[in-house]
Amino acid sequence: MPTVIRFLLCLTVTLSVPVQAPAFADENVPAAVRLGLPDFTVLVERYGPAVVNISTKQSALYGPQDFGEEEGLGEDSPLYDFFRRFFGEEGPLPEDGENGRSLGSGFILSPDGYVLTNSHVIEAADEIIVRTSDRREFVAKVVGADERSDMALLKVDGTDLPAVEIGTAADLQVGEWVLAIGSPFGFEHSATAGIVSAKGRSLPTEDYVPFIQTDVAINPGNSGGPLFNLDGKVVGVNSQIYSRTGGFMGLSFAIPIDVAMDVVDQLKEKGRVSRGWLGVLIQDVTRDLAEPFGLSHPRGALVAQVRPDRPAAAAGLRDGDIVLAFNGKEVSTSSNLPPMVGAAKVGTEAMLTVLRNGETLELPVLLSELPEEEAFAVAPGQVEQAAADRLGLVVEDLTAEERERLGLSDRGVIVESVESGPAQQGGIRAGDIIVSFDNEPVPDTKRFRQLLDAVQPGESVAVLVQRGDGRMFYPIRIPAE
């Protein structure tokens, strides 16, 4: 039989098979489900009552003019609206006209009245009002607040209150549908949906929270509200947005519920939050820095400074070490490390996997508690003019008095000036203190020139620089001759 006939017979048989109606064609099934889309109606109906509106009474109101002025960020700065808090603009005044404003959202954790929200929602509040979906109002007491995670735990007098179910952010997948319920611009109990865009995001203002990024429409007033998965369980707390206008632009950030509930437990137990601490200053390993540290590609957290008499120093960690893992968990970027260390219990031993001079080491470290504030005072010294080297640098030795002020007992040369050349292109500035060069300590200008002369043309080196109250590695490629 010719091939074409066999094809026609097969086609005829195929077309003769009756077409069955899809199982979801039942009119009783929601339209969204029939179209293959997620249906949030049951979720909103069941858990919406556990979402509350939070307003406060304050002696003073804060507006957008407060944002960034102290940091020198005016409205013309591209960073002015970057990761600003949700409430840079005044919300609507309460209906009775009293001095206060509707700040944000929250959700009830338990029927006995524990409520979770963001700490910036209740900041500077004289009185906190929690309003439920059935229009009941409660005056809330603050159990505790944690500024670093931006979480606050409230308590209202109530019984049999509707409560959410707590899930976990660990199982979230990028692309998964999620739902937010809150009070954007004071419009209470508004529901918006989207997907998880990314996990483990690090924001400039938060070191200890691995944020969930979503494209859920979040606006001023959503802050502190819950982020649900399709099972109806809370997986995050909406906290920040990326915006150049103060409104939604497609980038929203939520605190993982696992982080939030750890804060809740500590606030209930002792009224404060403690976090693990290493006592190091770290930076990302860039492509330019990977080569001088012997890495085939950028990864890990580069230790720019080990603070003296801190856990990392006691464990033997050194400037120039690259932390590749913490307690067996990979550290792919420097932003991964602070949340891992912060989540570890104070007083426990952790294991650091470190790359040092091309060799992998395992260093046990006993974690201490992260202090409330940490700062050093650094006073730049004065130097005399000297000749520029092949990097375009003019460096001078530090005096004994300068070393004492800078906390540099045995190393460091100061950059007097920077001419056009590799050092300037690498980011080094006048007034910087060069602490090490190509992973070798720099005690004086003589040793600095020896180290510089030893580098072959075309090679890339890492220069450790102290600037202000911190240190950072800068990659510099020695020019080919």
Q: Which of 150, 262, 321, 438 is catalytic?
A: 150
List the structure tokens of 386: 């000297």
Is residue 81 annotated as part of the catalytic site, yes or no? no
Neighbouring C-beta atoms of residue 441, cutoff 10 Å: 15
Contacting residues for 404 by C-beta, under 8 A, at least 6 apart: none
Nearest to 322 by CA among 351, 283, 349: 283
Cβ(154)–Cβ(109) below 8 Å: no
Q: What whole-number distance in Å separates Cα of residue 418 and Cα of residue 416?
A: 7
Active-site residue flag, 223: yes
Nearest to 325 by CA among 305, 358, 306, 351: 351
For 281, the token pair is: 């200053």
d(CA 425, CA 150): 38
Cβ-based neighbours of 158, under 8 Å, separated by 6 or more: 111, 112, 113, 138
**Chain-centre distance for alpha carbon 473:** 22
Mark 10-20 as b/e (b = at least 16 C-beta within 10 Å).
Answer: eeeeeeeeeee
In the Cβ-directed half-sphere of 170, how many Cα atoms lie within 13 Å? Answer: 4
Catalytic (active site) residue 120: yes
- Kindly name the residue from 102, 149, 223, 460 that is annotated as catalytic: 223
Which entry of 120, 202, 321, 460 is annotated as an active-site residue? Answer: 120
Q: Give me the residue label for tokens 């957290």.
A: 301
Which residue numbers are catalytic? 120, 150, 223
